[in-house]
Chain A
Amino acid sequence: MDKSLQVILQTFEGKKEEIIPILQNVQDAYSYIPERSMTDIALFTGVPESQVYGVATFYAQFRFTPRGKKHCMVCRGTACHVNGAPRILEEMEEALGIKQGETSEDLEYSLETVACIGACSLAPAIMVNDTVEAKLDPKKVRKLFGRVVANE
């Protein structure tokens, strides 16, 4: 078993109710859920691996491919939607050259849409890693990510 996974599992007791917290810890450590880790979690909790996989794929938080260094989350909350989030997403897809749900080949950027990030008063907003970029418009997006296109 992977060392860091071992360290994570040591903080748990191996109960079924711990599957989601364990997956969350694994994702924090690896930036995604490696398939191998789910087999180990299944063994650890005594739950069939298909069930661990079922839980992991049910919740939007879990991803199965590594994140980019800059993980961009475009908010698809209502306030952002009526304030132009679809345009922001389009602009980001164009600027980064990847579609939502994808990671750029150089692992620099990954892009996804997320349920409301709660910055509704500052809509439309995106989150890049832990930083919120608020009150965006296509121009601001180009300014934030425009460099990427220029480099290509």
Chain B
Amino acid sequence: MTKEYNLTIDGQKIIAQEGTSILDAALENDIFIPHLCHHPDLKPEGACRLCGVEIDGGRMVMSCLSTVGEGIDVKTDSSEIRQARTIAMELLIADHHMDCLACAAANDCALLDISAYLGIQPDRLERLRPSDKGLPIDESNPFFQFDPNKCVVCGICVRTCNEIVGLGALGFINRGFKTVIGTFGNKPFTESICESCGECVVRCPVGALAPKTPKFAAREVQTTCVYCGVGCGIYLGVAGDKIVNVRADRERPTNEGSLCVKGRYGFNFINHPDRLTKPLIKKDGEFVEAEWDEALELIASKFVQSKGDKFAALASAKCTNEENYLIQKFTRAVMETNTVDHCARL
């Protein structure tokens, strides 16, 4: 069994499991510590230097890199900590293309959260020289775009592609101030090995990697992705009577918040004009729209005539396991044949 430690964060007593970082322990207990390069799914990096805390009234450590210990007393704010964070944030903002109104990150932006927390002063910002990098925006990917002028080089996308997706389509390019995130040869995403899964996009703490679909919907509907038998949990974002985005369900054990390109971005078919919404019956060589009852009647009557070796069933990988189970049971028990298969691909 994992050991548990008692510790204090800003006077609050909390319990955390051995090996948990102080930052994660705080966040799990709804105590905010500013951070940019940390993501709970990824190994800590210690790059943004915003999450510094004081331990036992002295030593300043990065809370993402330090793990909890028995009886430690953590302070998440002090004048020194605030000073260090403020300057780091001011530097980040001076380097950031601030077009918050048009930004796809909308208010889901770590820079805005931390600025609000610290109370960034415009007159102090004015002393700094803005970077104004003017780098081209990569809009090649149909589902998301990359604006390096908004990138904070936290590396979350790079680590996501390596640690979670296991693809390594993204990397750091150059060094120092010229460091950018990019694909091999710094080419457009579509010319790289990127599979457009969007795992990096959902983890980007700012608006650098941003979906082309609207980030906010009027309401969400929890459901299961229909694409394959994995059964990933998703939330469909709905605005009016249209699905406008998809969000992965972090609580669903099948996918724990991950999705593939189809599940995340392939929902346009739902509202597509070419989509069949009623069954078609071929009459005199032409497909004619029919009602479900009529169609099912027709199928049933044909099935009755086709028992035995005349019959074969081909199920779909889009079906759930339960549906596929039923198909094979039906084929064997009712249609009296073992000729059953399914397409294990899409």
Contacts and interface: CB of A to CB of B under 8 A. Distances in A.
- A adjacent to B, CB under 8 Å: yes
Contacts of B175: 57-58
Interface in A31-69: 35, 38-39, 42, 47-54, 57-58
A54 B172 contact: yes
A35 B171 contact: no
B174 A50 contact: no
Interface in B163-216: 167-175, 182-186, 192-193
Contacts of A53: 171, 173, 184-186
Interface in A67-114: none
A62 to B, nearest CB: 11
A37 B260 CA distance: 31
Contacts of B167: 48
A35 B183 CA distance: 13
B169 A35 contact: no
Contacts of A42: 184
Contacts, number: 41
B173 A51 contact: no
B185 A54 contact: no
* Residue among B170, B172, B182, B192 with max Cβ neighbours from chain A (10 Å): B172
A57 B174 contact: yes
A39 to B, nearest CB: 8
A42 B174 CA distance: 18
B171 A51 contact: yes
* Residue among B167, B171, B182 with max Cβ neighbours from chain A (10 Å): B171
B155 to A, nearest CB: 11
Given A35-B185, A50-B183, A50-B184, A57 B173 contact: yes
Contacts of A54: 171-173
Contacts of A51: 168, 171
B304 to A, nearest CB: 56
B151 to A, nearest CB: 15
A35 B170 CA distance: 16
B43 to A, nearest CB: 16
Contacts of A48: 162, 167-169, 171, 184, 193
Nearest to B172: A54
Contacts of B192: 50
Given A50-B169, A58-B175, 8 more contacts: A42-B184, A48-B162, A48-B171, A49-B184, A52-B184, A53-B173, A54-B173, A57-B175
5 contacts: A48-B193, A49-B193, A51-B168, A53-B171, A57-B173
Nearest 3 A-B pairs (CB), nearest first?
A: A48-B168, A50-B171, A54-B171
